[in-house]
Amino acid sequence: MRGRLGDRLLHVYTWLIIAWLTAPIAVMILFGFNDKQSKSNTSWQGFTLRWYGELFADGSLTGALVNSLQIAVISTILTTVIGTLLGLALGRYRFRGKGASNFLVFAAISTPELVMGASLLSLFVSGNTPRGLLTITIAHVLFSLSFVVVTVRARVVGLDPSLEEAARDLGAGTWTTFRLVTLPAIMPAVFAGALLAFALSIDDYVVTSFVNGSTLTFPLWIIGSVKVGIPPQVNVMGTLIFGIGVAIAVGNAIASRRRT
Amino acid sequence: MRRVRAAAAPYLLALPAWIWFAIFFVVPIAAMASVSLTTGNLLEGFQQTFSVSNYAKAVGQYHTQLIRSLIYGGIATLIMLVLAYPMAYWIAFKGGRRKSMYLFLLLLPFFVSFVLRTISWGFLLADDGILFGPLKSAGLLPADFHVLATDVAVIGGLVYNFLPFMVLPIYVALERVDPRVVEAAYDLYASRLAAFRRVVLPLSLPGVFAGVLMTFVPATADPVNARILGGTGNTMIGNIIQTEYLTNNDYPTASALSFTLMAVLLVGIFVYARSLGTENVLEAAAR
């Protein structure tokens, strides 16, 4: 009996935490509809759809969002390719430098973002590299690389080696085996890694703040305008990104449930 | 010929990532180490003097913020642990067919930018915001009541932003606990408490370790929460490092400070990792 009560309390508790975690999202969505008159967008002043109509009214904000999307797409593609290859090597082969590779992957995940950003800036300063889209993209590939490697490696380790053996027995070459057997089998992990890389890239503030020069990304633009007041367009963009992200995740979940 | 190519395969696969890690991770950390041992300034140039004076200066000048960050990070991690464990436990053992729904809800905040989430807390907690505004005008709170720009706001923000990273690894560890092991404990007349303390808790410890690892480091080094939710008295080491690098251009001091922070954090981590084996920590962290 006491057990039942405990379970019920834990159930309520879990929902309370979820409510707490999602409260700021509700606030973000709500204030995208705020008919604010003054500079600050912190008190509710009435409902309006105006900001959805004027979504791209602020050129610099739109530019920052476009930068973020560009960087995210390019760095995701690069990270996914490079990371998948290392994930394959680590999951499949024994080779010299495997231990060092695992250590590097682990070190890159556990290095504070701040230190990663600062050290990259040290490199770019000593190399006189102009900071901008290129340096931001380089940094984004670096911090998401390990996550793709770990995701793909886990899948490769779990793969049944007899599948590839069968392909080879049937006369398939190395490349054909990879293309027709290995790649489709690890594809879910590659896709998951790519999604993770994209999410990490589009969300990053700390590392980017060191290597951006004068180029602004979406998070940097937002932080920069905290003191003067966040325009409601930011909330609207946040709401739309949230909506698209959730739609993709739910769609993906439904699709994978159908497949199995 | 075939044999040679097969032997080269892992090296060819690993090469691009090695190059990337070498140029943009190993070399920069080394560059930072060397900059931290220079003296000079941006105008006259920096000389490699191998003097540790930057470290003395960095720690002497900013130990308040460094210690404050460790305390904020430590308290936030403890609160996260206390908050996360019961939730992870319930989802793992009682979530049933709705487990993935609960996990999805737990991850929902990640569909909103980190910066934007923190700013939304700023909205919620604002002195005249939707929470305190009405309470104040109803006379339920004194007019000068505020949460923003206090320790509570910053630590609360850290807990909020990193909590899912604590719940997930603990959930993964608990989910792997074989229910038959717990039943065996009951069959041997263990009370619920004893079964939890002697069986479930020890089996979940790798998850707890991973969770602490994944939350303490980013929370301690985080500059965003202190900047958005804190006041002048809540500055954390992350804010100092940003200012030293980006505003003051005092690269030697900033590098020394970054290194000190990393040393403090990494020593702790690798002691953790050693006791578990890096692969285990990574595995727990990856799921």
Q: What is the DSSP string of B151-166?
A: HHHHHHHHHHHHHHHH
Task: State whether A122 and B255 contact (CB < 8 Å).
Answer: yes
Amino acid found at A139: A
Q: What DSSP element (H or E) covers B38?
A: strand B38-41
Return the structure tokens found at B135.
Answer: 């309470």
- Of A175, A177, A197, A191, nearest in space to A259 by CA: A191
Residues of A within 8 A of B122 (CB-CB) are 42, 226
DSSP-derived secondary structure letter, B97? G
- Cα separation, B105 vs A246, whole angstroms: 10
Query: Across all residues in chain A, what is the average pLDDT?
Result: 89
Confidence of residue B287 (pLDDT cuts 50, 70, 90): very low
Domains of chain B, start order: 62-286 (1.10.3720.10)
- Residue of chain A whose alpha carbon sits nearest to that of B10: A89
Beta bridge partners of A34: A47
Return the structure tokens found at A67.
Answer: 């930068």
Most B-contacting residue of A7, A16, A27, A30 (CB-CB within 10 A), to test interface: A27
User: So what's the pLDDT on residue B179?
Assistant: 85
Return the structure tokens found at B153.
Answer: 């706001």
Categorise residue B235: left if φ over 0, alpha if ψ from -120 to 50, beta otherwise: beta
Task: State whether B14 and A89 contact (CB < 8 Å).
Answer: yes
Task: State whether B119 and A222 contact (CB < 8 Å).
Answer: yes
Length of chain A: 260
User: So what's the pLDDT on residue A127?
Assistant: 85
User: Which of B123, B128, B282 lies nearest to residue A150, judging by beta carbons?
Assistant: B282
Q: Quick check: ipTM above 0.85? A: yes
Low-confidence ranges of chain A (pLDDT < 70): 1-3, 39-42, 259-260
> B127, B208 in Cβ contact below 8 A?
no
User: So what's the pLDDT on residue B1?
Assistant: 44
Between B268 and B75, where is the model more confident? B75
- Cα separation, A4 vs A86, whole angstroms: 48
Give A24's Cβ-side CA count (13 Å radius). Answer: 25
Residue boundaries of the structural domains of chain A = 59-230
Mean pLDDT value across residues B134-145: 80
> B148, B122 in Cβ contact below 8 A?
yes
CA dihedral A247, A249, A252, A253 (to 10 degrees): -110
Residues of A within 8 A of B279 (CB-CB) are 102
User: So what's the pLDDT on residue B276?
Assistant: 61
Q: Flag whether residue B240 sits within 8 Å of chain A, measured between CB atoms.
A: no
Mean pLDDT value across residues B200-209: 88
Residues of B within 8 A of A137 (CB-CB) are none
> B281, A105 in Cβ contact below 8 A?
no
Q: Is B284 a residue whose pLDDT tops 60?
A: no
- Of A198, A153, A134, A97, nearest in space to B22 by CA: A97
Q: Is B229 a residue whose pLDDT tops 90?
A: yes
Please give the distance of CA A209 from its chain centroid, rounded to a whole number.
17
CA dihedral B215, B29, B68, B285 (to 10 degrees): 10
Task: State whether A218 and B108 contact (CB < 8 Å).
Answer: no
Q: Flag whether residue B103 sits within 8 Å of chain A, measured between CB atoms.
A: no
Q: Flag whether residue B148 sits within 8 Å of chain A, measured between CB atoms.
A: no
Which residues in chain B (188-217) have CB-CB distances under 8 A to chain A? 192, 213, 217
CA dihedral B133, B138, B142, B144 (to 10 degrees): 30
Confidence of residue B275 (pLDDT cuts 50, 70, 90): low
User: Which of B100, B109, B227 lies nearest to residue A21, judging by beta carbons?
Assistant: B109
Given this structure, which CATH class describes domain A59-230? Answer: mainly alpha
Q: Is B263 a residue whose pLDDT tops 90?
A: no
Residues of B within 8 A of A123 (CB-CB) are 24, 27-28, 31
The distance of A53 to chain B (nearest Cα, Å) reads 21
- Residue of chain A whose alpha carbon sits nearest to that of B263: A111
Q: In sequence order, what are the residues at sequence separation of 6 or more whose Cβ sits closer than 8 angstroms to the Cβ of residue B134?
A: none
Q: Is B286 a residue whose pLDDT tops 50?
A: no
Burial of B155-192, coded b for 16+ CB within 10 Å and e otherwise, reads bbbbbbbbbbbbbbbbbbbbbebeeeebeebeeeebee
